[in-house]
Amino acid sequence: MDLLLPALVADGLRTRSFGRQIHYFEAVGSTNDIAKELAQAGAPEGTIVLAEEQTQGRGRLGRTWFAPPRSCLLLSLILRPNLAVADAFRLTMLCSLSAAVAVERVSGITPAIKWPNDLLVGAKKLAGILSEASSLENSLQYAIVGIGLNVNFDPSALPEVAASATSLSALAGHEVSRVRLLQELLAEVEARYPSLWPANEDALWADWRCRLGTLGQQVTVSEGGRLEHGLAVDVAPDGSLLLQGDDGRRVTIAVGDVTLRREDS
C-alpha cells in the first residue's frame, strides 16, 4: 500500500506549481477546513492538503464523506483564479474533468461525470468534489476544491457505502497507485488551467460536456427543496443543466442534486 508521503508525490510530479507545496496529515477533520485556514493565511495557488483519513469529511449539500483510512485520495487544492463569482462553476468543470482524465490515464477505467461534478462508474460513485469559495465583491479571492476519490478498498465490505459507491481497485481487480493518480490529477488541472479564462471557455465546456453521463437520462433534480422531473437535455456554457420537464416546459437548473428515475423511466 502506497502512502501519500510528500516526498513520494514530489518524485515524478510534472507540474510547475500545482502540488509543489504539500500539507500532509495522517488524520484530520476535513482537508477543506485546513486548506481554508491556509488560504486565509496567504498560501499560494496550487498548495494541496492531503490526508490519509478524515474524521469529519464533508460532502455537498451538508452530507458527510466517508473513506476508509489510507485507501483513497482525500485532497483539497487551493486555487486563486482571477474569476468573477458568476464564473466559479468553471472550477467545477475543470476539476471534475481533470479527475476523470487522470482516472482513465492511470487505471484504464472511464468514469462518467454526473452533473455537476461526481464521477460515476455505472450507477456507483467513484469520486465527489466539494468546491468552496471566498469572494470579495464580485471576484473570487480563493477557492478550495476538495476531491474524494475511492481508490483501494472493497466497497462491498463496508455497509456505509456498499449500495452506492465503487472504488478503482474493485473495478480494476488490482490496487491502483494513489501517488500516480494524484500526480496525473495535478498535471491535468495545471495543464487545463488556462481553459478557465473566458477566451477559452468553450473548450473546457465542450470537454466536460462530452463526459457528462447525465445527458439523455430521465432524472429528478432537487434544487433548494424543489423537485424537478424530466429529461436532461443539455448543459449551458455556464454549467447549468437544461431539463425538458414532463409537462414540456424547459427548466434551467444552476445548482442541484440529480438522481436517475429508474423506476418510471
Closest approach, Cβ 28 to ligand BTN, in A, equals 8
Closest approach, Cβ 66 to ligand BTN, in A, equals 9
Q: Is residue 98 involved in binding ligand BTN (CB under 6 A)?
A: no
Residue 145 in contact with residue 91, Cβ under 8 Å? yes
Closest approach, Cβ 129 to ligand BTN, in A, equals 6
Closest approach, Cβ 198 to ligand BTN, in A, equals 27
Q: Which stretch binds ligand BTN (CB under 6 A): 6-14, 40-48, 52-60, 163-171?
A: 52-60
Q: Is residue 31 involved in binding ligand BTN (CB under 6 A)?
A: yes
The edge-to-edge listing of strands for the beta sheet with 72-79 is 22-25, 48-51, 72-79, 139-150, 124-136, 118-121, 112-114
Closest approach, Cβ 35 to ligand BTN, in A, equals 8
- Residue 189-228 contact track with ligand BTN, rule CB under 6 A, x = bound: ----------------------------------------
CA distance 239 to 88: 10
Closest approach, Cβ 64 to ligand BTN, in A, equals 9
Closest approach, Cβ 61 to ligand BTN, in A, equals 7
Instruction: Give the one residue of 65, 89, 142, 208 binding ligand BTN; rule: CB under 6 A.
Output: 65
Size of the site for ligand BTN (CB under 6 A): 20
- Which residues in the 122-181 window bind ligand BTN by CB under 6 A? 128-130, 146-148
Q: Which stretch binds ligand BTN (CB under 6 A): 9-17, 27-35, 39-47, 188-196?
A: 27-35
Q: Is residue 74 involved in binding ligand BTN (CB under 6 A)?
A: yes
CA distance 70 to 155: 14
Residue numbers at the binding site for ligand BTN (CB under 6 A): 30-32, 54, 57-60, 63, 65, 74-76, 118, 128-130, 146-148
